[in-house]
Amino acid sequence: MRAMKFRAWLALVAGILPATLAAIVLFLALYSWPAMHFNGLGFVVRDTWNLGNLYADPIMRHGMQVQPGATYGILFLIVGTLASTLIALAIALPMGIGAAIFLAEAVPAQLRLWISFLVELLMAIPSVVFGLWGYVVVIPFLGHHFYPLLARTLGKAIPFLGAPSGSGYGLLTAGIVLSLMIVPIIAATLRDALVSQPASLREAALGLGATRFEALWKVMLPGTRKTLIGATFLALGRALGETMAVLMVSGNALNYLPHRIYDPVSTMAAFIVSQLDSALQDPTGLAVRSLAEIAFVLAIISIIVNALARLLLLVWNNSQRSVMV
């Protein structure tokens, strides 16, 4: 009897965690409801975010008080978010796989602990410190040296990479900084999966005459495919929602779709930070509610991506260790 009571209490207190998640989603949905009603589905396909004429008196539209000329569309944010995330993944995936391979197979066991720690430490570095590094070091370097070079060489053949190469703030910089933040997720998860592969797999491959690298590349690595997909989803979720670092290096474009890889962009997460101050100028409150709608959309996307990632990792390899990101 007493034991049941203890368990019930524990279950109740533990329930604060699911309740918090539900509260976030529900509250953002309720708060942004008027904005959803006003913006409709066009919210995600329009590429203009305009608070309207803030000096005029509010008018009635769709049974709601709005500033004349107000339209809210986030297509440019969706494009910016997806593009920067894709670039980040395109860099982080090969790099993470390479690092994991070398860590798991080539680094001596004594040294492995230290280098693994160094790589995982990247996960612990605060996002705003990445932003600082990007702002003071990466942007001048890329903007003055690497991007002009890239535009002069590859840019000749591919218009998307062509000149002008911009100031250094922009899509590619955001992608590069983001990739560094998500590489450790992929590297750490994949390294664990490689280390826990049965040794007999490698021995069988070596016995058939494969070189050590062939055994790894053709036998061990395919065995970790599912873990890799799960880790990629985790990394995707992290990149989609990353705020501070992107805010500091992306150039924070407004109502602008990137034509070149160097163009300034903004992402959904960064936009919420950069626009709240001006949204507060809207006396009808619709702008603040539209920002809440962005937060709601972002929450739903990240919940779906993360739930998928965890389900894949859970169902497929039942691993005990979960990488905290």
Binding of residue 276 to another protein (CB under 8 A): yes
The answer to whether 44 touches 70, Cβ cutoff 8 Å, is no
Concatenate the DSSP letters of all residues of 51-77 into one string: ---TTSPPEEETTEEE-TT-EE--HHH
Of 182-241, binders to another protein (CB under 8 A) are: 183-184, 187, 211-214, 216-217, 234, 237-238, 240-241
| Residue 143, number of CB atoms within 10 A of its CB | 18
Concatenate the DSSP letters of all residues of 78-111 into one string: HHHHHHHHHHHHHHHHHHHHHHHHIIIIIS-HHH
- Compute the distance between CA of residue 106 and CA of residue 280 in angstroms, rounded to an integer: 55
Binding of residue 41 to another protein (CB under 8 A): no
* From 39-47, 148-156, 194-202, 286-294, span contacting another protein (CB under 8 A): 286-294
Q: Give the nearest distance from C-beta 132 to another protein in angstroms.
A: 5
Of 11-30, binders to another protein (CB under 8 A) are: 11, 13-18, 20-21, 23-24, 27-28
Rg (CA), the chain: 24
Q: Give the nearest distance from C-beta 162 to another protein in angstroms.
A: 26
Q: Give the nearest distance from C-beta 163 to another protein in angstroms.
A: 27
10 vs 45, beta carbon nearer another protein: 10
* From 35-43, 167-175, 257-265, 297-305, span contacting another protein (CB under 8 A): 297-305
The binder of another protein chosen from 78, 193, 309, 312 (CB under 8 A): 309
**Per rule CB under 8 A, count of chain residues that contact another protein:** 92
- Compute the distance between CA of residue 128 and CA of residue 247 in angstroms, rounded to an integer: 9
Of 77-96, binders to another protein (CB under 8 A) are: 94-96
**Where do runs of H (alpha helix) occur along 162-284?**
171-195, 199-207, 212-214, 221-223, 225-241, 244-249, 268-279
Of 238-267, binders to another protein (CB under 8 A) are: 238, 240-244, 247-248
The answer to whether 254 touches 267, Cβ cutoff 8 Å, is no
Of 124-163, binders to another protein (CB under 8 A) are: 124-133, 135-137
Binding of residue 31 to another protein (CB under 8 A): yes
Of 95-114, binders to another protein (CB under 8 A) are: 95-99, 101-103, 106-107
Q: Is the peptide bond before 222 cis (omega within 30 degrees of 0)?
A: no
Q: Give the nearest distance from C-beta 77 to another protein in angstroms.
A: 13
The answer to whether 149 touches 62, Cβ cutoff 8 Å, is no
99 vs 261, beta carbon nearer another protein: 99
The answer to whether 313 touches 232, Cβ cutoff 8 Å, is no
Binding of residue 35 to another protein (CB under 8 A): no
